[in-house]
Chain A
Amino acid sequence: MTGHGLLVVGAVLLMPVMAFFTLREDHILHAIIGRGMLGIAAAIAYAFMGAPDVAVTEALMGAFLVTLLYVVVFSSGEEFRVGYVELPMIVSKEAEKLEGFAVDLLTEFGRKIKVKPNFVSFESRQALLEAVREGYMDMAIGPFVYPFDESDNYLTLPIIETRIFKKNGGEWIDLLSLMYGPENRTFDRASAEMEKGFYSVLLSEDAHDLKDILFSFMGDEENIAVPELKKKYFGVTK
């Protein structure tokens, strides 16, 4: 074996070693660094094997790729998307600041699991329901009432009790919309029956882990945040 041959074998030997160390890692950042080193090992090997063009390209491309992936990992932040349709007390926007029971609840929930909610405004109920079904929004809050809004396309999680006014034709309206919403003029309250319902959070089927965590968050007996918020907005503790 000549000296040059030894150099080639040595450089090539680095490649499977680097590849192994890259893929042995479960941490993505370490794997990216491993990929960078593999690129350098490959460039050295190519240079020894009489292919400087390929070596230059591989080295530069490896460097760029690693920087790019590094940026991806570095700027990753966790969030979940909540669509809302405004409804006083549940979710409302005043002076560029969102407040309301559901908003505070989800913010509290996000603080607990260290994921930020990202609230997105929607014009109409229909548009928001569509977005939840398509998976663009993980959750929806606003005038959504259990059991009237139940569907196979998403889950409903009741958060607070309310009253629903229902007509024979199937038309219905919830209490808060009737009190504050624009519909209160067109809806004839006298001919409607009153039923029990719950304001709810709609959860997309695509919100994979989120729904389990949120269900356990709401059902947790020791969690004092939920009753406190109920007291703050509605004056009840139940």
Chain B
Amino acid sequence: MEELMAILFVSLLVMVPFFSGILMLAGKGRDSRILLPVWTATALLAGFMLVKGGAFHVVIGGLYGVELMFDTFSWTFVLMNGLVFIGVTLSVKKERLPFLACPLMAMLHGTANAVFISYDLFNIFICIDLIGILAFLFIRLGKRPRQIWSAVQYLIVGNVGMILYLVGCLYGYKATGSFSMETLPAIPSVAVYLLVIGLSVKGGVFLAGLWLPEAHGEAESAVSALLSGVIVKCGIAPLLRLAELSPVASEIVPVLAVASAIYGVSYAVFDKDIKKMLAYHTISQAGFILAVPGAGHLYAISHGLFKSWLFIAAGNLPSRDLESLKQDGIKAEFWLPLFLGALAISGMPLLGGFGAKSIIFGQLSGFPAFLMYIAAIGTAVSFAKIVFLPLSAGGDLKKALSLSGLFFLACLVFRDIAAGYFVVSYILKSLVIIGTGWAIYFLVTSRKSVHLPKGAESLEHIIGLLFIMLLFMIGVSGL
């Protein structure tokens, strides 16, 4: 019975998007709204299974086959995948997308689902490689020379990371005779480090993910929304599983998470380019997601929603430069979505980010908690730049919340109510964090501008740093 259910889920989550992608490719379809039923089916199925509860895992193909896992964790990510795709599709309907975009979206959807339900190290390797190729094509769709360069950089770094992951898989197989994730506790720690590094390249986590600001900042805004909303999660979801299952990884991943949160925020506070700033926040939010491996998926769904909303809202702006936006002001119809998104990511109650942050802070303690509070305040500081952008005259508030905006907003509000963290102490805490952040913004950062060095974001440095990190992990565990 479970086998049959699994086949049904695989055909609905993976095969249907693939088939529709191939058919769109053959029929040269350009309208992404045709695919809305596919996304909706994913979201509805995931929502139903979340409400129903329960978990089971299945091996497809018998002996040495591929193991799939259907539990709350995977269904949460699948739900996020469906919701983000619905929102992005609703937002890009007016543009004429290039011909390749719609088939690629369908295939990306299917592959992301496959990553989230996979419980097999090698299957994750191949799915993430497919995700990498799709992202590579997506980044290039905008045609600017710089996008080609950032795509090439992305693929080279990602491929080196995947080679490390492959070697990690091999050592895992050698020790246990299986690729299933259940064997993770038994595999040697060096292999776990290789797996962690390989996944953190795709997940945009600290150091390994430094390709991210360039690629996400340069891509078209709808593409950036997909990159930050879904593609980054395809690295993070297996990483979370790894941290949950393997004791070695559960020590190393939270360290990476905190470093990632602090690093991303400290660059975002001083960046004047709105898309670059959002891209740096993807690094820092990856840290928030990974900080508590047991609850990361609950943060991930919120992050997927508000980050893709923010990227879409930022794409509508007349300029990317925050200084010039500050002088000219922005029209109300562009301002409102940005404002709400910025509040959500800062953790304002009723807007998605609050419940997620409360979950994370509820389970952290000690020094990591202190550092994460700093990162949360930093988030508020950097988003104060958006919150306090002046309104210019002549805007139309009615146009502000388009279909996609309403959709995202509804999801975020519902998400927060579902989290059930409306306790006075949590509300106070988050308000204090936001207040401190805004105070710092007015007192310090709005008056000073600091240029942090960005040398580490070049190709050779990222690749080299992968090995430095590996050595560091081996050294720490050896001591």
Q: Within 8 Å by CB, do A and B touch in the complex?
A: yes
Nearest B residue to A206 via CB reads B145
Q: B144 an interface residue at 8 Å Cβ cutoff?
A: yes
B140-173 interface mask toward A, CB cutoff 8 Å, 1 = contact, 0 = none? 0001110000000000000000000000000000
A15 vs chain B, min Cβ distance (A): 16
Nearest A residue to B144 via CB reads A134
Contacts of A206 in B (CB 8 A): 145
Q: What's the tally of chain A residues with a CB closer than 8 Å to chain B?
A: 3
Q: A135 an interface residue at 8 Å Cβ cutoff?
A: yes
Q: Is the interface of A mostly helix, strand, loop or mixed?
A: loop
CA distance A134 to B148 in the complex (A): 13
Nearest A residue to B145 via CB reads A135
Contacts of B143 in A (CB 8 A): 134
- Tell me the total A-B contact number using a CB cutoff of 8 A: 6
CA distance A134 to B143 in the complex (A): 9
A104 vs chain B, min Cβ distance (A): 29
Nearest A residue to B143 via CB reads A134
CA distance A25 to B430 in the complex (A): 59
CA distance A135 to B147 in the complex (A): 12
Contacts of B144 in A (CB 8 A): 134-135
Contacts of B145 in A (CB 8 A): 134-135, 206
CA distance A206 to B143 in the complex (A): 14
CA distance A206 to B145 in the complex (A): 9
CA distance A135 to B149 in the complex (A): 13
Contacts of A134 in B (CB 8 A): 143-145
B68 vs chain A, min Cβ distance (A): 26
CA distance A134 to B146 in the complex (A): 10
B151 vs chain A, min Cβ distance (A): 15
A115-154 interface mask toward B, CB cutoff 8 Å, 1 = contact, 0 = none? 0000000000000000000110000000000000000000
CA distance A135 to B145 in the complex (A): 7
A222 vs chain B, min Cβ distance (A): 35
CA distance A177 to B139 in the complex (A): 42
CA distance A208 to B237 in the complex (A): 42
CA distance A134 to B145 in the complex (A): 8
A185-228 interface mask toward B, CB cutoff 8 Å, 1 = contact, 0 = none? 00000000000000000000010000000000000000000000
A58 vs chain B, min Cβ distance (A): 15
Nearest B residue to A204 via CB reads B145
Contacts of A135 in B (CB 8 A): 144-145
CA distance A100 to B145 in the complex (A): 31
A179 vs chain B, min Cβ distance (A): 38
6 contacts between A and B (CB under 8 A): A134-B143, A134-B144, A134-B145, A135-B144, A135-B145, A206-B145
Closest 6 interchain pairs by CB?
A135-B145, A206-B145, A134-B144, A134-B143, A135-B144, A134-B145
